[in-house]
Structure 1
Amino acid sequence: MGLILKKENKGLDIWREMATYPFYKYDSIQGYKFIFSLLEKKVDEFCFYLYLLSENKEKLVLESTNMSEIEDLSEKSAQNKELLEIYQQPESSIKLRESHRQIIPVKEWGGELLNIPLLINGEEFIGTILCGPLKNEKISGKEKKELEKFSVAAASAISNLKRTSDLLAEIQKLDSSAEVRKRMLGSALEVNRFVDLLLDLALTATKAEAGFVAITDSSEKNMTVRAHKNLPDGFAEKMNLNSQNGMFEWSEEDSEVLILSDYDFVAEYKVKSILAVPLVEKKKLIGVFALMSFDASEMFSEFSLSVLTNFTEQIKLVLNNTKLFENFTTRYFDTLVAMSRAYDHRSPFTTGHSGQVSNVAAEIAYQMKFSAEEIKNISQAGLIHDVGMCGVVEITDGFQADYNHPEIGASMIEVLPISKDIIEAVRTHHEWNDGWGFPNGLKGDEIPMSGRILAIADYFADITSNSKARKAFSLKKVLEDLELRREKQFDEKVVEELIKILEKKQNKKIEETFDFCWKFKGEPEDVCENCPAFQQKNVYCWGFPGVLCEKHGDNSCDDCFIFNEWIERVETLIQTDKIEVKNMEHKVLKKDGFAVVQLSGEIDVSVAPQLRNALKELIDSGTVNLVVDLSEVAFIDSSGLGIFVVAYKLAKTKEGTIRFAAARPEVLKVIKLTRLDKHLQLFETVEQAGTDF
């Protein structure tokens, strides 16, 4: 019995359909949709996945999908809904196996699928189409022949589509680059080339023996030599171009004239004649164009002065273009940063993500002793590493955005006069050390160091944040996971340096946190600027009832990496006898609608984990209304109060509350000093606290 082919479309002429479709008019996405539509007519399945062979020919990379009928499947039964989740999340790449070259059923990412290889002329393998969910594992001989016809026709069409798409992309890239280069006369590189060219022309036209062009830097305080020819050894290094006490005298009143003032200096280098013209903009000296002769018989003429004057006007024009382009570059980059932040705000779990990646990447670069400029570049790359996600129109094939966003992001900045490190870090931050990353499958030293650093910073920011699917990793789990990924996903040296940073923070004093929460979360301005922990720069952010943790994905302090790392650190110190544990006991009395927690002894950092666990267990078990009896508590510090605030916020998330009763004067004084009396409910007696529950 046959497995797949629809009876009503058995006579479908695949080659005729392919030949009459105007592939040249449309992009690859439209072309793939047409091919999928033909397959839908031919094959009785719901999901279709196109995988193409990678450049290294070791794996298949997901190119496109079609799941237009999958919703019909999910509505039929609960079991189908589970299948829906499986088939809606295809792997972005799969290891190439011999079975992919045959028309047979295969198992991929937990599902049964039919494999249809794409063979040009029936021989050259370029990829495969997977169809599913499979209803029957038997394929008849006739069906296999029909699918072989489809395989060859589809392979030919897809190969041509890919070549056309790549060619169009290259043409578009060249067109955009050419357009930008017309405007890029303002980049620092182009200014230097232009000035160097003018100096060459001036020397040729005037027959001068040497010369230089100096221009003020961006701060407009210092003048630096941008081009020089045939200067005596040491001349450029020792030359003083300060307009007040340097080689030339210049004044605003007579701004078009430069007068040689340091005769001894030029005589030292045997300069017999010098002609210098000032570059003046809005009555400010912005540069000097000078020609020199070492032959006493050669004097500069009016023609020489005319040439220099003309050339200085050309340089001023270019410098103005430079400033305009630099302003454009700055504004454009700031726009990309704003786009990245806006994209981060798609969910509370990702708010501040780009800022966090930037901070972590900069820390690693600093640990690796990079230069200040290199650290700045990596930090900037972190701010926009996911900007390519904003450059993709939302489509049902959402994986394409994720898979291609590094290339898209790099293309958005590679036309700018910025460091190549920034561009390549964005392009390669999803490549893996072992070659199993994307989009280009680079491995090892093929990945620039900036990309390797950004990759691990992105990973760290992700796993230390909560998501819909999982809680943030603990520091212990992060360190374990890094070891598993060492040399596979991440460069060994970069893993080693990140671990050093984490262990250094782990060894901080207990009065300190792993990091300030706002810094750790990437300082999302619209969240942190209104948060009391940020405003007061307090170490224990969990000690504030009004902190805005839920705005960046932490619904309670128990979800927060920073808080859990601190608890983990305290527990380690207790287990290793590094701190003396105070005597604290607690009892729980269940009442109608609430529970009384009787505490006795001293509450400080040494009992914080014990107190936190006791209150958390009660709240998690459903006892969300508590009265904490403080009558037998002789001492409490800020860490103990912080645990009360953590429990109070947790109870609030479950529509409960915590009230505090019978605090001794010395304990009440600490509560009032920390201003927690403005937020917590305080009662003189347990009986008063227990009313109205």
Structure 2
Amino acid sequence: MIKDVKTYIHTVGNRLSKAFSIEEFGLEEQLDFWELSAEHVSRKETPSFTDIVSWMDMLYRAPVHFVYQLEDEKLVLSRRHVITENLLNTQAGRRTASGSQSVQEKELLQNFEHQLQNLEKKMSMDEVFREHGITAHSIGQCEHIPLFDNDGDLWGIYCAGPYIKSPEQITPKLSIVGRLLSRWLISLDEEEDKPQKDYESRIEEVTANLGSGKLNTEALMQLNLKYLLNSVKADSGCVFEFMGGGHKVLASSGFSEDELAEFTQVENVLVQEATDKVKVTEAGRKWFEARGENPDVLYFKGEHHSGFILLFNSADTPRFKVSDILDDIRNSFASILDYRYQNEKFSEKLTHVYYTMLRAIERSRSKTIHHTPRMIAFVERFGLLFGLEDEEMARIKRTAKLHDIGYVGASSIESGKSIGGELTHPLIGANMVEQLAVHPDITEGIKTHHEWVNGNGTPGGLKAEEIPWSGKIIGVFEYVVDFVETHKDDDSKSGDEWIEALSKGIMERADVEFDMVLIPTVIQLIQALGWEGCVNLGVD
């Protein structure tokens, strides 16, 4: 992959030594640096990423340290550590006498945090190595050190920045620094991989035991219906559920899609529910007569739902006798509906608990105190403008409500990666609801809301139409809400100027991060709301 590793490392060293230098990195600082490295080497356990950053920060005094790991010819962001003190000391000027943050410092931190949200999750090898040691990122130019495994193959890169200075005295020894970084980071990755998998396994075991979420009620009804049709030698049949003054087809056999559509196109319902029984309506009688049909009607009623079965052209002599068990068969349909209802209610309660747990996490930070309510409010307004159907609207609002619940799971992984939230919370969140009675659009939206349409997102690197509509919508409003949360208290621009800046940011990401189809409606929405409306939307 790298034709001349020695040439590359030599180039890195030259660039680092010529570009920047720390004036006060003298002999004492060098001794402290190497003494700390020796201390880490002598320990049996691998230093944590925080310890590694503290060691490297003796060189760089950088606002952010991050690691890209090579996966499938792409460099994928795997770790990140922010040191706010370095940002304030290098860019915000002298600290206040009390040590508290000034308004300007808070604004600086918020702006930098917003830039970090746009830090590239994936980069191609060519883009990185064309720069020979300095990489351009959304936060500015950063220096990087290549990391190699025991076979000499590139494993990843360690980055620090932006716009930091590197001590000349250390440049000749960068290969030693790189070897230590490689050893520690690879070991750390191997050690953390097991608890991460163990946690996901525990989540899967718990949710799998819920079981009912995976019960395919439609398939069970289809099985029971076919048994019934076969036993009475009927040509065809349907199972209906009473709902909202009408009825809905749940299972069928012997009908084409066009024929099934006719059942829902009848002006009045075919069958009405009376007290513990059903009767064919006048509209139903005429509809059946027009088609030369006189079906058998079997009623069933459960604790929460009821319905009926239509059997067409049953034979006078059944294939085998089912009259003695007909009540059991009818009751089985009712039991399936009751089971589905109970599971839906259970799933609603459990996911709401997940939501309240997430809100507790969000309220711990002033920036995210209204994050998920804002998301719900934004996607609801978007859905109205975009013309989502009622069922689609309900799904996208629930996706917004649950999109970040993976943080609830991620927070319980004590040794999780520092950037675990960004890289694993979509997968963990989807895993938490996968076994529940949650629509697939919601589960997939949770899993894919950090995917980019150009394939550079996470966790799956999906492209364009591979990303479900729910994930695309949540993804673009994650950006909108983060922008609002970052700049809501910033008076350096007028409201119109902030809306213009937000609109520009969205357009710059069209067909890169976001689906262009969504962009006109998103911009129409934020412009209609205005800056004050965006800031106040969803504030509970």
TM-score bracket for this pair, using the shorter chain length: 0.5 to 0.7
- Give 1:327 shift: 1.2
Q: Distance in 1 between matches of 2:296 and 2:237?
A: 9
User: Quick one: structure 1 residues 382 and 178, their matched pair in 2 at CA, closer, same or farther if it must change by over 3 Å?
Assistant: closer
Q: Structure 1's 155 and 100: CA in aligned 2 closer, same or farther, altered over 3 A?
A: farther
The question of 1:279 aligning with 2:297 is answered: no
Deviation at 1:301, TM superposition (A): 8.4
Look up the match of 2:341: 323
Q: Which residue of 2 is the match for residue 175 of structure 1?
A: 205
Counterparts of residues 27-66 of structure 1 (less than 5 Å): 33=48, 49=65, 51-53=67-69, 55=71, 57-65=73-81
1:457 to 473, 477, 482: 477
1:69-107 Cα deviation digits (max 9, x unpaired) = 999x99xx969x999x99x979574667789789x9868
1:192 partnered with 2:213: no
CA RMSD of aligned residues (A): 5.4
Q: CA deviation at 1:308?
A: 2.6
Q: Does 1:393 align with 2:414?
A: no
Counterpart in 2 of 1:119?
A: 148
Amino acid aligned to 1:482: S
Shift of 1:359: 3.1
- Farther off after superposition, 308-317 or 262-271: 262-271
Structure 1's 225 and 502: CA in aligned 2 closer, same or farther, altered over 3 A?
closer
**Structure 1 residue 494 and structure 2 residue 518: aligned?**
yes
Aligned to 2:11: none
Contact kept, 8 Å, 1:214 with 1:227, in 2: the verdict is yes
Give the CA deviation at 1:446.
Answer: 4.5
AA aligned opposite 1:196:
Q
Give the corresponding residue for 1:577: none
Find the counterpart in structure 2 of residue 479 from structure 1: 500
> What CA distance in whole angstroms lies between the structure 2 residues aligned with 1:107 and 1:237?
58
Alpha-carbon deviation of 1:198? 0.8
Quote the residue 2:437 is aligned against: 417
Provide structure 2 residue ranges, at least 5 long, that are not aligned to the other structure. 1-25
2:15 match: none
- Aligned equivalents of 1:399 and 1:413: distance in 2? 22
In the other structure, the counterpart of 1:675 is: none
The correspondence for 2:187, drawn from 157, 170, 191, is: 157
Residues in 2 aligned to 1:299 and 1:317: alpha-carbon distance in whole angstroms: 29
1:216 paired residue number = 242
Moved more, 155-164 or 476-485: 155-164
Which runs of structure 2 are paired with 1:213-612 in the superposition (5 Å)?
213-217=239-243, 219=244, 221-230=245-254, 252=276, 276-281=297-302, 286-293=306-313, 295=315, 298-300=316-318, 303-339=321-357, 342=360, 345-346=363-364, 352-393=370-411, 400-401=420-421, 404-433=424-453, 442=462, 444-464=464-484, 466-467=487-488, 474-488=495-509, 489-501=513-525, 505=528, 521-525=536-540
Residue aligned with 1:413, SS: helix
Q: State the identity %.
A: 16
* Structure 1 pair 434–211 and aligned structure 2 pair: CA distance change class (3 A): closer
Per the TM alignment, residue 384 of structure 1 is displaced from its structure 2 partner at its CA by 3.9
Structure 2 CA distance, aligned partners of 1:54 and 1:209? 60
SS of the aligned residue for 2:157 comes to: strand
Secondary structure class of the residue paired with 1:52:
strand
Distance change (3 Å), C-alpha of 1:500 and 1:233: closer
How far apart are 1:443 and its partner, in Å? 5.3
Question: Does the CA contact (< 8 Å) of 1:361 and 1:457 recur in 2?
Answer: yes
1:640 matched to which residue of 2? none
Larger Rg computed on CA atoms: 1
Q: Are the aligned partners of 1:5 and 1:42 in contact in 2 as well (CA < 8 Å)?
A: no
3-state DSSP class of the match of 2:394? helix
Inter-CA distance 300–238: structure 2 relative to 1 (3 Å threshold): farther
Question: In 2, Cα distance between the equivalents of 1:68 and 1:361?
Answer: 32
Whole-Å Cα distance in 2 between the matches of residues 480 and 41 of structure 1? 38
Does structure 2 retain, via aligned residues, the 8 Å contact 1:463–1:473?
A: no
Cα offsets for 1:42-78 (capped at 9, x unmatched): 996588945133646454514154979999x99xx96
- Secondary structure (helix, strand or coil) at the match of 2:317 reads coil
Could you tell me how far apart the structure 1 residues matched to 2:427 and 2:494 are? 29
Report the alpha carbon displacement of residue 193 of structure 1 after superposing the two structures with TM: 1.0
TM normalised by structure 2 equals 0.67
CA distance in 1 between counterparts of 2:128 and 2:32 reads 20
1:53 counterpart letter in structure 2: Q
1:5 to partner: Cα distance: 7.9
Q: CA deviation at 1:310?
A: 1.9
How far apart, CA to CA, are the structure 2 residues paired with 1:100 and 1:238?
60
Cα drift, residue 197 of structure 1: 0.7
Contact 1:250 1:259 in 2 (8 A): no
Please give the alpha-carbon distance, in whole angstroms, between the structure 1 residues aligned to 2:150 and 2:342.
55
Q: Is 1:270–1:294's contact at 8 Å kept on the other side of the alignment? A: no
| Contact preservation (8 Å) 2:148, 2:182 | yes
**How far, CA to CA, are the matches of 1:114 and 1:129 in structure 2?**
8
Structure (1 or 2) with the greater helix fraction: 2
Letter aligned with residue 201 of structure 1: Y
Could you tell me how far apart the structure 2 residues matched to 1:327 and 1:482 are?
A: 40
Cα pair 1:248 1:258 within 8 Å, conserved: yes
Closer, same or farther in 2 for the Cα pair 1:451/1:271, shift >3 Å?
A: closer
Check the 8 A contact 1:389/1:402 in 2, yes or no: no
Counterpart-to-counterpart distance in 2, 1:482 and 1:175: 44
Q: Is the 1:64–1:400 contact (alpha carbons within 8 Å) kept by the matching residues of 2? A: no
Once the two structures are TM-superposed, the CA of residue 382 in structure 1 deviates from its matched residue by 3.1
* Amino acid paired to 2:301: V
CA distance in 2, matches of 1:356, 1:41: 39
Once the two structures are superposed, residues 512-535 of structure 1 have per-residue CA deviations (whole angstroms, 9 ceiling, x without a partner) of xx6996x9723545xxxxxxxxxx
